[in-house]
Amino acid sequence: MNEAVNLWPLIGIAAIIIGFLCRLNPVLVVVLAGIITGLSASMPVGTILASLGSGFLNTRNLALIIVLPLVVIGLLERHGLKHWAQVWISNIKSATAGRLLTVYLLVRELAAAMGLTSLGGHPQMVRPLLAPMAEGAAENLYGELPKATRLRLRAMAAATDNVGLFFGEDIFVAFGGVLFMHNFMQQTANIQTEPLHIALWGLPTAICAFIIHSFRLRRLDRRLAAELGALNRAALKDKGER
């Protein structure tokens, strides 16, 4: 008979959710969640601190990996990358912000499912290309955009990248999360699984995520049409009265 599985370490997930909802410092939230998880698993405090320290040392070169693309992107922006992205998307008359982001969501999710997670991202794709192109598509239809609308489009562009990456990489059989679940179930719960089966079970969730977020993007287009269309009509009416 299998031994009972200790589910108390999962309280660390709740700690992460609560910390992010309260908008606390992400590093502090992750460290506290790791400590809570370790204590829930009855790990000695020394072992918990050693695990956190070794994890930090193993990723100490991560800052260099992040900084180098930022330098390249900064140079491209200085030479007009955002401007030309907006000009290019404005030449496509049928493009809307929602349609553009839906296409990117599909590409991002498929690329992540094949393990190509570095093809997108906030510093190298969302900020210099995706968000300006979404703004350019909206400006092509409605003219100058209010600041609140620009911020909403940027936020939705970032959210689209997050959704595509998060649910797409769960389908990749060599993804760290898939291998972690495989090892956990095999070594801790003595449940025999295959990484491929775990990855395939992520496919329905990825499809649902694509459908749900595509609906949100469709609703974004409708909201922009209603709000900006009303503003344009009001501006034309005031101009006509004058």
Dump pLDDT digits (tens) for 90-116. 666 677 889 999 999 999 999 888 888
According to the model, what pLDDT value does residue 108 have?
93
User: Is residue 170 predicted with pLDDT exceeding 50?
Assistant: yes
Per-residue confidence band for 1, with pLDDT thresholds at 50, 70 and 90? very low
User: Is residue 126 predicted with pLDDT exceeding 70?
Assistant: yes
What amino acid is encoded at 214 in this protein? S
Residue 19's Cα: distance from chain center in Å? Answer: 18
For residues 138 and 229, give the distance between their C-alpha atoms in angstroms, rounded to a whole number.
11
User: Is residue 190 predicted with pLDDT exceeding 70?
Assistant: yes
For residues 2 and 15, give the distance between their C-alpha atoms in angstroms, rounded to a whole number.
29
Burial class (CB in 10 A: 0-12, 13-18, 19+), 147: exposed
Sign of dihedral through CA atoms 133, 137, 138, 142?
A: positive
Q: Which two tokens stand for residue 48?
A: 């918990």
According to the model, what pLDDT value does residue 209 have?
93
Q: Which two tokens stand for residue 40?
A: 């829930």
Cβ-contact 209, 167 below 8 angstroms: yes
Per-residue confidence band for 73, with pLDDT thresholds at 50, 70 and 90? low
**Percentage of the chain modeled with pLDDT above 90:** 18
- What average pLDDT score do residues 149-165 get? 93
For residues 215 and 205, give the distance between their C-alpha atoms in angstroms, rounded to a whole number.
15
According to the model, what pLDDT value does residue 67 have?
56
Mean pLDDT, the chain, whole residue set: 79
What amino acid is encoded at 237 in this protein? K
- The DSSP code sequence of 152-175 is HHHHHHHHHHHHHHHHHGGG-TT-
Per-residue confidence band for 154, with pLDDT thresholds at 50, 70 and 90? very high
